Amino acid sequence: MPSKKKGWPRDRRSFGLAWTLLCLVLAIHVADEALNDFLAVYNPAVLNLRSSIPWLTLPTFNFPLWISLLAMAVLGLLVLTPHAFRGAWGMRPMAYIFSSIMLVNGIGHVAAVVYTGEAIPGIYSSPLVLASAAYLWYANQPGTPQSGR
């Protein structure tokens, strides 16, 4: 049933599905990066950036910490899924933040491939990331509740 709250997305069910899809795609993206040794690319790039831009405080990671933090992030976002279906307060801004971060992530992977000319870890799932992030952004748009859904 659509939300009657003014400004809420047209269809809470679509919003909840879009939220769930992006969470699952994030899990796939993390697996893609982990299986293709993302940290072997990320850590040297960060160290190189730090030497060029000393005030930049990007962290480096070891694999257990990196995968644990990402797993907790994915689980934390999945825990919010019932709230997305219910149209709970705060989900709209979180959806904009989540989808924006994932859009930037997907674009970053594509840009890195264009720049280096080589496939980098995470590129295989980046189209899924971009599509599902765009879908969540779209599903989060305010509108007049539609009947019959």
Split at pLDDT 50, 70, 90, the class of 11 is confident
- Tell me how far apart the alpha carbons of residues 26 and 54 are, in angstroms, rounded to a whole number: 31
Chain centroid to CA 22: 6
Q: How confident is the model at residue 76 (pLDDT cuts 50, 70, 90)?
A: very high
- Please state, for a pLDDT cut of 90, what percent of the chain lies above it: 80
Note the pTM of the prediction, 2 decimals.
0.86
- CA 119 to chain CA centroid, Å, is 20
Per-residue tokens: 97: 């933040």
Q: Helix 12-35 vs helix 126-139: angle between axes, to the nearest 10 degrees?
A: 160
Considering the chain, what is the average pLDDT of its residues? Answer: 90
Q: What would the pLDDT profile of 122-148 be if each residue is shown by its tens digit?
A: 999 999 999 999 999 999 988 645 544
